[in-house]
Amino acid sequence: MTDRTTEDDQSKPSIARIYDYLLGGKDNYPVDRQIADIFIKDLPGSPSIARANRQALIRAVGAMADEGIAQFVDLGSGLPTADNVHQVARRHNPEARVAYVDHDPSAVARSRALLADDERTTVVQADLRDTEKIHDHPDVQGLIDFTEPVGVIFSGVLHHLNDDERPADPVRWWADRVSPGSLFYISHFRSGDNGETRVVEEKLQSSLGRGRWRTDEEIIGLFGDLELLEPGLVNCSLWRPDPTPGAGADNGTGARELTVWEQLISCALARKP
């Protein structure tokens, strides 16, 4: 695959810009808002999928930094928003380095503008399946030391690869090449085998041509031989949750009652032995 231009195409919807709008951002256009409004207006509560995903990513980056990870490759990083990976990581390690990768011109252009003066980040335009191109890119090689453990992030991106696009392949490729002790984070749409799953999947497929809900077994399969860390694969809202009192309603068992929408996205962290 070749580089795409960083020209911002306002005539076609962008996954990154739709996600930005659902999170309350301003880097989006009418064509993006038209699709996002389907979820906001016709499927009340569904934007909580995006919010749960983002909050879990923030906690996961903190957890990886606490495990000693000081460098990250964020694949399918999307548009910058509050608490980007480098900001979260540097609350734990001020020297943390991050290579952001996205194929979307909007995300790349905005990220480069925001991070132009940050010498410990880089932004590469590439499809996440272009693994060798990403790994060998001079900016990535100049920033990330692959002889040391790396945090590899696939946050809310592999579910945008349909089955024939072999979503496990990029995970396996990186797992074969990074150092032992590297950590992998994946969040993914989780099939709830219910009406909500089917409706949202149909909306994404009809508007964007992609968006694949997978079962727990299928999501775990994306990790291959990596070692899943506690608590394993769980709904994003339940992954090492913020212990702040009042964070949500208790269901009587000590666990927070999740909405049906929050149940439709899960995540896990794994280590390369």
Taking the model in full, what pTM does it have? 0.84
pLDDT single digits (tens) 152-162: 999 999 998 98
Distance CA 273, CA 259 (A): 35
Q: Largest Cα–Cα distance of the chain, in whole Å?
A: 53
Report the distance separating Cα 20 and Cα 95, nearest Å. 27
Structure tokens at 254: 């000590």
* Paired strand residues for 72: 98, 151
Query: What is the spatial distance between Cα 270 and Cα 89, in angstroms, rounded to a whole number?
Result: 18
Task: Strands of 3-149 (E only): list them.
Answer: 71-75, 97-102, 121-125
Instruction: Decide: residue 193, CB within 10 A, 0-12 exposed, 13-18 middle, 19+ buried.
Output: exposed
Amino acid identity at 153: I
Tell me the two tokens of residue 164: 């024939």
Residue 52 near residue 237, CB atoms below 8 Å: yes
Low-confidence ranges of the chain (pLDDT < 70): 1-11, 14, 19, 35, 38-46, 197, 203-210, 244-256
Tell me 18's DSSP state. H
Q: Which residues on neighbouring strands pair with residue 123, listed in sequence order?
A: 100
Domain annotation for the chain: domains and CATH numbers: 15-225+233-238+256-271 (3.40.50.150)
Determine the pLDDT at residue 259: 82
Each residue's pLDDT tens digit, 52-87: 999 999 999 999 999 999 999 999 998 877 789 999
